[in-house]
């Protein structure tokens, strides 16, 4: 609770010296090893507990996540198979099967697993929402844009009713942002994207939102990509002023600002400056391995740095990130 991670590690190690089969202590110690970047130690602890037969369900998913991040995809898959054997009909076994397939870009298998998950009787609202958003992502990735848009909008509406918030985006801006992104990135229609955003921001419910609403950074990046860097700068300046008035900016906010500045630089025809700003943003969120990489690749292409762009794109595709499809979309 007080973020004294080393002290917490020592405390859990003390528990396990007395009660070596305490599954919750083993799991929590594994989590702490992961948070302190001792990933191999974390994975070994989970796997050992699973082998000895006293691991709670969460240790199987934690083990799979950690092993996949260590580039041990086959081991992660084996753990999920053990999970299914040890906890028959546990819905998260199916969820992780889908995530493993999607992270390997096997969308047919991933979609089949998600549909199987949605068929589970009494599935909790958070997993149901995750499933719908996954299906939306698979559709978008494979070019089924209308289906993807319909699914993601339906999921957003369901989360309002179900009380399981997954999409952190202001309601008045969510649909406009999604439609503008489709126009800009899928249909190559920057004017259409700007028209959608202009209409949305003119509505009373959008004008009533506080300027430090994180969605405004996302909209600013779309404006920049659509050739309207001045509009982007206006939204960014208002966000920064209001956010600073609330106190110290956290690392996510700082990274978001850097990424938006990078998008503006790219939109103004300064791709090398954009590359540097994207790299600064990535340094602020080192555990978000995918953040900014495609944009860096695009900026490097624009800066006539094709070899470097290839490295960025390959780095994105080869990154060992288990739950990635909602960025891939």
Q: In terms of Cα–Cα distance, which of 274, 272, 278, 273 is closest to 259?
A: 278
Contact residues for 198 (Cβ-Cβ < 8 A; gap 6+): none
pLDDT at 172: 83
Q: How many residues does the chain have?
A: 329
> Do residues 140 and 148 touch, judged by C-beta distance below 8 A?
yes
Query: Which pLDDT does position 162 carry in this prediction?
Result: 64
- The dihedrals phi and psi of 170, each to the nearest 5 degrees, come to -60, 130
Q: Which of 218, 214, 216, 320 is nearest to 263 (CA)?
A: 218
What CA–CA distance (Å, rounded) separates 27 from 23? 6
Residue 53: its pLDDT value, please? 87
d(CA 309, CA 312): 5
Residues with Cβ within 8 Å of residue 124, at least 6 apart in sequence: 91, 164
Ramachandran area for residue 119 (φ above 0: left; ψ -120 to 50: alpha; else beta): alpha
pTM, 2 dp:
0.89
What pLDDT is stored for residue 118 in this prediction?
Answer: 93
pLDDT, block means (10 residues), the chain with 329 residues: 92 94 93 94 95 91 96 96 93 96 97 95 89 95 91 84 75 88 92 96 93 92 96 96 90 95 96 97 94 96 97 96 93
């Amino acid at each position: 609770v007080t973020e004294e991670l080393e002290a917490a590690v020592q405390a859990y190690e003390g528990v396990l010296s007395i009660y070596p089969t305490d599954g919750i202590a083993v799991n929590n110690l594994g989590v702490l090893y992961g948070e302190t970047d001792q990933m191999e130690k974390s994975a070994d602890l989970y796997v050992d507990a699973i082998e000895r037969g006293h691991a709670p369900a969460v240790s199987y998913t934690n083990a799979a996540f950690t092993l996949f991040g260590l580039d041990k995809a086959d081991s992660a898959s084996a753990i999920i198979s053990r999970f299914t054997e040890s906890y028959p009909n546990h819905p998260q076994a199916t969820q992780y099967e889908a995530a493993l397939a999607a992270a390997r870009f096997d969308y047919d298998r991933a979609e089949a697993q998600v549909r199987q998950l949605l068929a589970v009787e009494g599935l909790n609202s958070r997993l149901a929402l995750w499933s719908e958003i996954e299906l939306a992502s698979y559709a978008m990735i494979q070019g089924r844009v209308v289906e993807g848009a319909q699914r993601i909008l339906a999921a957003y509406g369901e989360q309002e009713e179900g009380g399981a918030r997954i999409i952190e985006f202001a309601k008045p801006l969510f649909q406009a942002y999604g439609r503008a992104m489709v126009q800009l990135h899928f249909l190559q229609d920057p004017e259409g994207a700007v028209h959608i955003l202009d209409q949305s921001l003119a509505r009373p419910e959008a004008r009533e939102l506080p300027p430090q609403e994180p969605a405004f950074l996302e909209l600013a990046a779309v404006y920049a990509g659509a050739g309207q860097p001045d509009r982007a700068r206006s939204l960014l300046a208002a966000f920064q002023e209001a956010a600073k008035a609330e106190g110290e900016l956290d690392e996510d906010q700082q990274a978001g600002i850097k990424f938006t500045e990078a998008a503006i630089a790219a939109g103004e025809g300064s791709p090398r400056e954009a590359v540097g700003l994207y790299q600064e943003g990535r340094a602020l969120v080192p555990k978000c391995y995918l953040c900014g990489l495609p944009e860096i690749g695009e900026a490097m292409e624009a800066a006539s740095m094709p070899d470097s762009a290839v490295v960025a794109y390959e780095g994105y595709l080869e990154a060992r990130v288990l739950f990635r499809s909602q960025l891939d979309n």
